[in-house]
Amino acid sequence: MSRFAVGIDLGGTKVEACLVDETRQILARKRRPSEPGLGRERVVRNILELVAETAGGALFEAVGMGTPGTYSPAADIMFGAPHTPLYEKPGLVSLLRSELEVPLIVENDANCLALAEFFAQCHGRFSTVMAVILGTGMGSGLILGNRLHRGPNGNAGEIGHTSIAIDGRTCECGRRGCGEAYLSGPSLARRYAELTGETLPPDRIFERYGAGDLHARRVFDESVRIMGELFANCVNTLDLEAIVLGGGVSNIPLWYEQVPGVMNRALFGTPGRTIPILKAVLGDSAGVLGAAYLALREMHLMEF
Ligand SMILES: [Zn+2]
């Protein structure tokens, strides 16, 4: 007899759910607006209705949920989700828990993506991997020795807020020189605008790079160096075997063509190592699938 779990990906404006069975196959997947502007009860009702609709009568045994920022059980709020103020007020998760009749496991969305991508393309090949989300911000999830490493407070893997320049550009977090202040989509756009006065999304800047635009070339030459050095810091700290890159800004081919060279030259320790940078393969399914894996682990059907 099949066993079922539900994964939820709670975003800033939408919520997505999937139903999986014990073989990790997605049997159903649905989404709807989360409507945070209408208050906490409305968000909870949206999530519960979506879960019921997605399950379609299947008796699921646990629910996993990926959230922006880091959920703190002690305070019952999500920290570090500045684009979703409602989620930073207490009570959303405890209210959801009291309505669900099965265990609810809550995890940072970058950790969910890391889990899903790890099992999709690394498991059995690499045991120690960092998955980076590059988009509006920059976050990451860590799998160390085949285990999800979240840290005692769930804050592990905040690569976007480690500094590579102590007097560098000011980040939204208030610190200077953070990776996110150079490599997120808005940061790339801002750098190009500084040089040209023109604001373009990263993929358009990359088109201009291809057409020989010297300012676009400068933006990407700088970014490649910064990303290479930042990733080398992570490899040197954690002895990573591979890095997976996902998110809206992960489609730039230079990240895969040029960053490994910069990074591998900066590695310390065992000579001759080359750490691959892999493109995420699950697209926008990764978050919801990784969340479902949390539920499958709760049911003792997965180990990580
Ligand atoms: Zn920062």
Residue-wise pLDDT tens digits, 208-241 = 999 999 999 999 999 999 999 999 999 999 999 9
Helices 185-196, 202-210: axis angle to 10 degrees equals: 50
CA of 39 to the centre of ligand 1 (A): 29
Lowest mean pLDDT among 82-86, 193-197, 242-246, 251-255: 82-86
Burial letters 176-210, b for 16+ CB under 10 A, else e:
ebbbbbbbbbbbbbebbeeebeeebebeebbebbe
Mean pLDDT of 76-102: 82
The predicted pLDDT at position 274 comes to: 95
CA of 173 to the centre of ligand 1 (A): 4
CA of 163 to the centre of ligand 1 (A): 8
CA angle 285, 39, 63 (to 5 degrees): 35
Q: Give the number of residues written for the chain.
A: 304
CA of 251 to the centre of ligand 1 (A): 23
CA of 156 to the centre of ligand 1 (A): 14
Q: What share of the chain is helix, strand, coil (3-state, %, to 5)?
A: 40, 25, 35
CA of 55 to the centre of ligand 1 (A): 39
Judge whether residue 88 has pLDDT over 80.
Answer: no
CA of 159 to the centre of ligand 1 (A): 9
User: Which three-class secondary structure state does DSSP give residue 237?
Assistant: helix
Cβ atoms of 114 and 142 closer than 8 Å: yes
CA of 65 to the centre of ligand 1 (A): 25
CA of 187 to the centre of ligand 1 (A): 12
- The edge-to-edge listing of strands for the beta sheet with 242-246 is 147-149, 138-144, 129-134, 242-246, 277-279
Judge whether residue 82 has pLDDT over 70.
Answer: no
Residue-wise pLDDT tens digits, 127-167 = 999 999 999 899 999 999 999 999 988 889 999 999 999 99
CA of 103 to the centre of ligand 1 (A): 34
CA of 171 to the centre of ligand 1 (A): 5
Mean pLDDT of 182-210: 97
CA of 69 to the centre of ligand 1 (A): 13
User: Which three-class secondary structure state does DSSP give residue 63?
Assistant: strand
Residue-wise pLDDT tens digits, 8-61 = 999 888 999 999 999 999 999 999 999 988 988 999 999 999 999 999 999 999
CA of 155 to the centre of ligand 1 (A): 14
- Mean of all residue pLDDT scores within the chain: 94
d(CA 302, CA 287): 17
CA of 137 to the centre of ligand 1 (A): 9
Greatest Cα pair distance, the chain, in angstroms, is 62
Scanning the structure block, which residue is given the tokens 């020795």?
A: 145
Scanning the structure block, which residue is given the tokens 């209705």?
A: 49
Q: List Cα–Cα distances, 166 to 169, 196, 221, in angstroms.
A: 9, 26, 20
Q: List Cα–Cα distances, 290 to 126, 218, 285, 286, in angstroms.
A: 18, 36, 9, 6
CA of 18 to the centre of ligand 1 (A): 32
The predicted pLDDT at position 123 comes to: 96
CA of 179 to the centre of ligand 1 (A): 7
